[in-house]
Amino acid sequence: MTNIDSLLSSYQALSEEHAKQTEHQFVTIRQVLDERVKEIYDASDHLLEDQCVALNRIVDTLRTDAPIKDLLRSMNHSEQEIDQLGGEMGILVFYVSKLFELKPTVSVFEYNSLKRIY
């Protein structure tokens, strides 16, 4: 029995040492992984913010574009309707550019100004 007790004791000590080593490695790996995931999420958020800013610039540029404004003014609409139509045209241009990049899908566009004009 003494040999068995000694072997069991050695095995238990070995198991505990192994557990300490692997636990430390798991904690370290988990910390590195958590940091990397946070970096990825932060980078993704930053890219989304940049995309929103760029999209708003495009829409604003299209909304205030002098040709488009002149075309809309020639239709004898109020300033509010011109701004709304300019914004909707900007959104439409954005969607059209995206449609060429995507696989064919069904899209529904509803413009409030069209209901008033027609």
Q: How far apart are CA 92 and CA 29, in angstroms?
A: 47
Residues 46 and 75 in one domain: no
Question: Residue 8 belongs to what domain range?
Answer: 1-51
Instruction: Provide mean pLDDT across the span 49-74.
Output: 72
pLDDT-based confidence at residue 109 (cuts at 50, 70, 90) = low
Task: Look up the pTM and report it.
Answer: 0.44
Angle between helices 79-101 and 2-64 (to 10 degrees): 130
Range with the largest mean pLDDT of 52-61, 74-83, 90-99? 74-83
As a whole number, mean pLDDT of residues 21-33 equals 88
Q: What is the DSSP string of 34-57?
A: HHHHHHHHHHHHHHHHHHHHHHHH
Domain-located, residue 6:
yes
What is the per-residue pLDDT for 13? 92
- Provide the Cα torsion 72, 76, 80, 85; round to 10°: -30
Residues 114 and 71 in one domain: yes
**pLDDT per residue as tens digits for the range 63-87:** 666 566 677 677 787 888 877 887 7
**How many C-beta atoms lie closer than 10 Å to residue 5's C-beta?**
9
Which pLDDT belongs to residue 34? Answer: 87
How many structural domains are present in the chain? 2
